Chains A and B, each alone.
Chain A
Amino acid sequence: MSDDIHGRIQAQIDEAPVMLFMKGTAMFPQCGFSARVVQILSHLHVPFRTANVLEDAELREGIKQFSNWPTIPQLYVKGEFVGGCDIVTEMFQSGELEQLLKEKDIPHQAAA
């Protein structure tokens, strides 16, 4: 059961170069913290995929175990855990997020 969900998460982060586990969807985020990460990724024109943990109780618990991280949202880039809303926001503000995207060869547009 839990191996199953971990396998499913692994497949998701392997498939999508930028994968965001969030509450709601990119179009309709259901939480301010999730909304902020969507906003940052959109601002940088990063192509990303999302999974809505509110529609999937197994995923909601599974992703917390998988990442060893107790809160949502959670951002993965090229299979690597980047962090939640605070870390993504700090990295965006300091320019480290763009640096990471560049290093990982993720298409994006420089912030103005």
Chain B
Amino acid sequence: MTEQATDGRPTGRGAGRAARIEASLAAAFSPAALSVTDDSARHAGHAGARPGGETHYSVLMVSEAFRGQSRVARSRAVHEALAAEFEGGLHALALRLLTPEEADAAVRSAPGAKPGA
């Protein structure tokens, strides 16, 4: 279930940081699945939003690296891999960080999930 890096990513001004986030995470976690979404437009005008966008992101990542790690430890590892982005104006980062087993379980229990889908 590897996702294409370019799928669903807004082109234009949001693509720079999203691409860097994706590259940093791919290098650090060898994820089985990774998706980075730029939510900045939804937060325009809020505190922390900037005129150029690139402030608010969501990451869904599935990686073996999270096995045996608490939620806080997983997030800290991601924060660390993206330290340069936080220093450079990344303001909000929603994280969903799963092991492959947890991802499978989440897919199975999702509303509307079809067996074998």
With A23-B47, A70-B86 as known contacts, state yes or no: A33 contacts B92, CB within 8 Å.
yes
Chain B, residue nearest A64 (CB):
B86
The complex places the Cα of A54 from the Cα of B48 at a distance, in Å, of 11
Q: Tell me whether B72 and A81 are in contact (CB under 8 A).
A: yes
Give chain B interface residues in 71-101, CB to chain A under 8 Å: 71-72, 75-76, 79, 86, 91-96
Q: Tell me whether A83 and B46 are in contact (CB under 8 A).
A: no
Q: Tell me whether B72 and A31 are in contact (CB under 8 A).
A: no
Q: Tell me whether B71 and A90 are in contact (CB under 8 A).
A: yes
The complex places the Cα of A71 from the Cα of B95 at a distance, in Å, of 12
Give chain B interface residues in 10-57, CB to chain A under 8 Å: 43, 46-48
Instruction: Provide the main secondary structure of the chain B interface.
Output: mixed
Q: Tell me whether B71 and A87 are in contact (CB under 8 A).
A: yes
Partner of A83, one of B48, B75, B94, B96: B75
- Tell me the count of chain A residues lying within 8 A, CB to CB, of chain B: 19
Total A-B contacts with CB atoms under 8 angstroms apart: 37
Partner of A86, one of B43, B48, B76, B94: B94
- Tell me the count of chain B residues lying within 8 A, CB to CB, of chain A: 16
The complex places the Cα of A84 from the Cα of B96 at a distance, in Å, of 12
Partner of B79, one of A69, A81, A91: A69
Of residues A70, A71, A86, which shows the largest number of chain B Cβ atoms within 10 Å of its Cβ?
A: A70
**What residues make up the interface of A, taking CB atoms closer than 8 Å to B?**
23, 30-33, 54, 68-71, 81-87, 90-91
**What residues make up the interface of B, taking CB atoms closer than 8 Å to A?**
43, 46-48, 71-72, 75-76, 79, 86, 91-96
